[in-house]
Chain A
Amino acid sequence: MRSRFDKELDLLNNELIEMASLVEKSIENVTQALIHKDVELAKEVIEADKEIDNMENNIEARCLRLILQQHPVARDLRLISSILKMITDLERIGDQAQDIGEILLTLSKQNFKRDLIYLPKMAEATIKMVKESIDAFVNSDIELANQVIEYDDVVDNLFVTIKDELITLIREDVDFGEQSIDLLMIAKYFERIGDHAQNIAEWVVFSITGEHAGERKIQD
Chain B
Amino acid sequence: MDKIKIENLNLYYNDFQALKNINMSTQQNKITAFIGPSGCGKSTLLKTLNRMNDLVEGCRITGKVLLDNEDIYGNIDVNMLRKRVGMVFQKPNPFPMSIYDNVAYGPRTHGIRSKRKLDEIVERSLRLGAIWDEVKDNLNKNALQLSGGQQQRICIARALAVNPEVLLMDEPTSALDPISTLKIEEVIQTLKKDYTIVIVTHNMQQATRVSDKTAFFLLGELIEYEDTEILFSTPKDQRTEDYITGRFG
Digitize A139-180: 1 where CB-to-B-CB distance is under 8 Å, 0 elsewhere: 000000000000000000000000000000000000000000
A184 to B227, CA, bound (A): 49
Find B247's partner among A1, A72, A211 (CB 8 Å cutoff): A1
Q: Contacts A1-B246, A1-B247 given; indicate if A73 touches B234 (C-beta within 8 A).
A: no
Q: Are B234 and A74 in contact (CB-based, < 8 A)?
A: yes
List 7 additional contacts besides A1-B246, A2-B245; criterion CB under 8 Å.
A2-B247, A73-B208, A73-B233, A74-B235, A74-B244, A78-B233, A210-B233
Q: Which residues of chain A have C-beta atoms less than 8 A from B244's C-beta? A: 73-74
What is B's interface to A at a CB cutoff of 8 Å?
204-205, 208, 232-235, 240-241, 244-248
Q: How many whole Å from A44's CB to the nearest CB in chain B?
A: 42
Contact B248 A1 (CB under 8 A): yes
Report A-chain residues with C-beta under 8 Å of the C-beta of B248.
Answer: 1
Q: List 29 A-B contacts (CB under 8 A).
A: A1-B246, A1-B247, A2-B246, A5-B246, A71-B204, A72-B245, A73-B232, A73-B233, A73-B244, A73-B245, A74-B232, A74-B233, A74-B234, A74-B235, A74-B240, A74-B241, A74-B244, A74-B245, A75-B241, A75-B245, A76-B245, A77-B232, A77-B233, A78-B233, A78-B234, A209-B234, A210-B233, A210-B234, A211-B234
Which residues from chain B contact A78 at a C-beta distance below 8 Å? 233-234
A3 to chain B, nearest CB (A): 11
Contact between chains at B245 and A71 (CB < 8 Å) = no
**Residues of A close to B204: CB separation below 8 A:** 71, 73
For chain A residues 29-88, which have a beta carbon within 8 Å of chain B? Answer: 71-78
Residues on B with beta carbons closer than 8 Å to the beta carbon of A211: 234
Q: How far in angstroms is the closest Cβ of chain B from A64?
A: 17
How far apart sit A76 and B16, CA to CA, in the bound complex (Å)? 36
The residue in chain B whose Cβ has the minimal distance to the Cβ of A6 is: B247
Q: In the complex, A74→B235 CA distance in Å?
A: 7
Give the distance in Å from the alpha carbon of A78 to the alpha carbon of B240 in the complex.
Answer: 15
B234's nearest neighbour on chain A, judged by CB, is: A210
Residues of A within 8 A of B234 (CB): 74, 78, 209-211
Q: How far apart sit A214 and B126, CA to CA, in the bound complex (Å)?
A: 49
**Residue on A nearest B246 in the bound complex, by CB:** A2
- Bound CA span A73–B244, Å: 7
Measured CB to CB, the nearest residue on chain A to B249 is A1
Going nearest first, the 6 A-B pairs with the smallest beta carbon separation are: A210-B234, A73-B232, A2-B246, A73-B244, A74-B241, A74-B245
CA–CA, A211 and B246, complex, Å: 23
Q: How far is the CB of B208 from chain A (nearest CB, A)?
A: 7
Q: Which residue of B lies closest to A1 (CB)?
A: B246
Question: Please, how many angstroms separate the alpha-carbon atoms of A78 and B205 in the complex?
Answer: 16
Question: What residues on B are CB-neighbors of A210 within 8 Å?
Answer: 233-234
Return chain A residues, CB-CB under 8 Å to B241.
Answer: 74-75
Instruction: Report how far A74 CA is from B248 CA in the complex, Å.
Output: 14
B-chain residues with CB within 8 Å of residue A72 when the two chains form the complex: 245
User: Could you tell me the distance between the alpha carbons of A5 and B246 in the complex, rounded to whole angstroms?
Assistant: 10
In the complex, the chain B residue whose C-beta lies closest to that of A5 is B246
A74 to B246, CA, bound (A): 11
CB distance from A133 to the nearest CB of B (A): 22
CA A207 – CA B22 in complex, angstroms?
A: 32
Q: In chain A between 6 and 39, which residues have their CB closer than 8 angstroms to a CB of chain B?
A: none
Q: How far is the CB of B227 from chain A (nearest CB, A)?
A: 13
A82 smallest CB distance to B (angstroms): 12
